[in-house]
Amino acid sequence: MKYLHDIGEYFIMLKKVFGRMTKPSVLRGLIFKEVDDLIISSLGIVIFISFFIGGVVTIQTALNLNNPLIPKSLIAFTARQSIILEFSPTFISIIMAGKVGSNITSSIGTMRVMEQIDALEVMGINSANYLIFPKIIAMLLYPFVIAISMFVGIAGAYAAGVLGGFVPGEQFLNGLQNDFIDFHLIYAFIKTFVFAIILSTIPAYHGYYMRGGALEVGKASTTAFVWTSVVLIITNYVLTQLLLS
């Protein structure tokens, strides 16, 4: 019953988020701040992880392709498919559930504990719109983060594959272009867009409705990370089934 209550409360919150809007001039400033906090500040970690995971995928693929009948270009093909279809959209999103999600839950949760959300409500401000709507809008730029992750991941694969001596450069570039299906990119960005909504709203829900003190803020952040990851994984499965099968 509690899960049903939570799901209902989550949708009530979403209705409130898209309810009475905050003054546009104020909202504009809040959106820019959230873009900086949630998107720009995440680029460093995303680039770092993408580059090295791209490299690791390439090395592992290369080490497992011992058969001389299999062309070396398949290493690049496998790295590309892994990065575009799964690593960048899903793996990075789970990392972002920890980084961005805990930031959202703890910032909103602390405002709840410190009565700042009550202060907004008393002033007649739609606190859900004021706090959560700018985060959702900022997260709409999340597909750009994933595009960067894909690019850097493939660069990492090239670095590890070619500079590491596993595959010649020309064969790597050939493999990268082999059997490229446009829809795989569309599929990845559809997933990313849905994940962006999940990444901004589930942690916001856990912060917005939290009760208690500082200890509960920590617990809420952990719970938000777990639930965001669970919903991401399930959504990933459902979208893959719907779009690729």
Partner 1 sequence: MIEVKNLHKSFGQEEILKGINTEFYKGKTNLIIGQSGAGKTVFLKCLLGLFEPTDGTIEYNGKAYSSLDNETQRDLRQKMGMVFQGGALFDSMTIAENVMFPLRMFTKQKKSEMMDRVQEVLQRVNLENVNHKFPSEISGGMQKRVSIARAIVNRPEYLFCDEPNSGLDPKTAILIDNLIQEITKEYDITTVINTHDMNSVLEIGENIVYLKDGNLAWNGSKDEIYKSEDKSLTDFVYSSELFKKVRKAQLKGI
Q: Give the residues lining the site for partner 1 (CB under 8 A).
A: 20, 22-23, 25-26, 110-111, 114-116, 118-119, 121-125
In the bound complex, what is the minimum distance in angstroms from residue 164's beta carbon to partner 1?
45
- Give the nearest distance from C-beta 112 to partner 1 in angstroms: 11
Q: In whole angstroms, how close is the CB of 33 to partner 1 at the nearest point?
A: 8
d(CA 151, CA 154): 5
Task: Pick between residue 68 and residue 124 the one whose CB is nearest to partner 1.
Answer: 124
Distance (Å, rounded) from C-alpha 223 to C-alpha 96? 15
Which residues does 215 contact at the CB level (< 8 Å), separation at least 6?
none
The DSSP secondary structure of 55-123, one letter per residue, reads HHHHHHHHHH---TTS-THHHHHHHHHHIIIIIIIIIHHHHHHHHHHHHHHHHHHHHHHTTHHHHHHHT
When the beta carbons of 29 and 169 are compared against partner 1, the nearer one is 29
CB 200 within 8 A of CB 135: yes
Shortest reach from residue 136's CB to partner 1, in Å: 19
Cβ closest to partner 1, residue 76 vs residue 111: 111
Residue number, 86 or 121, with CB nearest to partner 1: 121
